[in-house]
């Protein structure tokens, strides 16, 4: 694929290692989309309660959050390619075990809880390494296109094709074989990463350097930049409001109040994928907006607020539309955030800052899953979605715009300097 391609989003594919990473990621994300439907339907089959699904979600996200402080330092100390290979192996074993237990009829809720925790540990290892390695694979002037392509394939596979395929698999051959299909995608991802060029760790710590010293350096960097710590902080509260209600209550409403099928759930997720794909394609073609952080926050607020739309839906068709717009907004958010992050955070510290980003931003996710079940029992599923969307989108995200310095990279020339530094 020539770098001069008129379709901007495809230009980074001219670089071999990025192309390999992208190919592996595309297939593993397809498996993740299958998993979204399979795990929801299997848990609700065992225990038809939002609390059970929330428990599995808590088990998945809590290890991810707790381990990020370790994996971020490892990302700056060890070759990132090697860490991603280990992460794919861990996730393959966890999801493969879910499949075997389900197919043989031995699966219990506690099995899924334990294996979801193992899967979450693999996520904690893969995420920071993947985020940190991407700027090493493409030139800085193609970071917007590379992030747009990543955000294009993520919803296309994880939220569009994957859930639709997952709905078909769960309905025809059962969730066990859907888990097996997901596990196989991690084997493919590992095979692609294995073909990438091995890069040495970007940093060789002194003998006196400790894990804690490395971590404090990352904390100091984040603390000195308002746009970083404020964005991470608001993400904690926003995801607390959004993630549990979306992952737990939307499937619950579809199955129990709208009397939908696994395919119906898959198509709701797939509609979100279609919206994300469109948003990523437009972002990749147009490049970075003049005020990327302002655009990011506007999209973030609207995407979170649209939880209210799910609450008012009385059939699947409105859910398709709400899902499409909601996920399109989150794609715009992610493209702009990753691009600004990669331009302004130096490579030698990027792994630690990335892990802090993941840790602080997602710290509210386990709490979100823990609270969703009790709140839904007390308020009802629909009222929980309304309050979560109104508080998370209408109040929390927009409030951060009043923090002094939150938009400073747009005004003080930092982004232009970041491009120059990356190019050097």
Q: Does domain 8-201+211-423 have CATH number 3.10.129.10?
A: no
The two structure tokens encoding residue 282:
């437009």
Of 146, 393, 157, 160, the closest CA to residue 275 belongs to 160
Q: Angle at the Cα of 94 (from 91 to 99), degrees rounded to 5?
A: 120
Instruction: Give CA–CA dist 81/334, Å, rounded.
Output: 23
* DSSP codes joined into one string, 236-295: HHHHHHHHHIIIIIHHHHHHHTS---HHHHHHHHHHHHHHHHHHHHHHHHH-S-SSHHHH
For the entire predicted model, the pTM comes to 0.68
Domain spans, the chain: 8-201+211-423
Radius of gyration of the chain (CA): 20
pLDDT tens for each residue of the chain, 424 residues long: 444 445 556 778 888 898 999 899 989 999 998 998 899 889 988 887 778 888 888 888 888 878 877 887 787 778 888 999 999 999 999 999 999 999 999 999 999 999 999 999 998 889 888 877 877 888 777 777 787 777 777 777 877 788 889 888 988 998 999 999 999 999 999 999 999 887 665 554 444 456 667 777 778 888 888 888 888 888 888 888 898 899 889 988 988 888 887 778 878 888 887 888 888 778 766 767 778 888 899 999 999 999 999 999 888 889 999 999 998 999 888 888 888 887 888 777 777 787 778 778 777 888 888 888 889 888 998 999 999 998 877 688 888 888 888 888 877 767 665 555 544 4
CA 172 vs CA 120, 168, 178: distances in Å:
28, 6, 10
């Amino acid at each position: 694929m020539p770098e001069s391609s008129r379709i901007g989003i495809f230009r980074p594919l001219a670089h071999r290692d990025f192309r390999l990473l992208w190919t592996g990621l595309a297939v593993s994300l397809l498996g993740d989309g299958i998993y979204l439907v399979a795990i929801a339907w299997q848990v609700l089959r065992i225990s038809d309660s939002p609390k059970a699904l929330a428990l599995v979600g808590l088990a998945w996200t809590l290890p991810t959050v707790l381990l990020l402080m370790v994996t971020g330092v490892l990302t700056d100390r060890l070759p990132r390619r090697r860490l991603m290979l280990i992460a794919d192996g861990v996730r393959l074993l966890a999801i493969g075990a879910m499949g075997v237990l389900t197919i043989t009829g031995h699966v219990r809720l506690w099995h899924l809880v334990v294996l979801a925790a193992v899967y979450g540990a693999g996520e904690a290892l893969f995420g920071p390494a993947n985020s940190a390695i991407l700027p090493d694979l493409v030139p800085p002037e193609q970071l917007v296109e590379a992030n747009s392509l990543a955000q294009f394939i993520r919803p296309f596979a994880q939220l569009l094709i994957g859930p639709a395929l997952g709905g078909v698999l769960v309905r025809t051959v059962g969730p066990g074989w859907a888990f097996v299909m997901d596990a196989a995608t991690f084997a493919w991802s590992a095979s692609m990463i294995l073909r990438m060029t091995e890069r040495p760790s970007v940093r060789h710590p002194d003998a006196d350097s400790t894990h804690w010293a490395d971590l404090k350096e990352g904390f100091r960097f984040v603390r000195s930049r308002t746009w970083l710590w404020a964005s991470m902080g608001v993400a904690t509260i926003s995801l607390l409001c959004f993630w549990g209600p979306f992952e737990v209550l939307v499937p619950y409403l579809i199955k129990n109040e709208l009397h939908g099928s696994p395919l119906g759930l898959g198509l709701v997720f797939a509609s979100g994928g279609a919206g994300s794909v469109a948003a990523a394609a437009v972002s990749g073609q147009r490049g970075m907006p003049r005020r990327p952080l302002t655009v990011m926050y506007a999209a973030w607020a609207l995407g979170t607020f649209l939880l209210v739309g799910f609450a008012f839906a009385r059939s699947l068709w409105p859910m398709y539309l709400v899902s499409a717009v909601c996920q399109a907004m989150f794609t715009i958010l992610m493209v702009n955030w990753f691009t600004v992050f990669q331009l302004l955070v130096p490579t030698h510290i990027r792994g630690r800052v990335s892990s802090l980003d993941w840790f602080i931003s997602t710290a509210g996710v386990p709490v979100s899953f823990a609270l969703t079940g009790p709140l839904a029992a007390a308020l009802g599923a629909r009222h929980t979605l309304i309050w979560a969307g109104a508080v998370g989108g209408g109040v929390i995200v927009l409030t951060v715009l009043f923090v002094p310095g939150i938009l400073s990279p747009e005004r003080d020339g930092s982004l232009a300097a970041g491009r120059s530094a990356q190019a050097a």
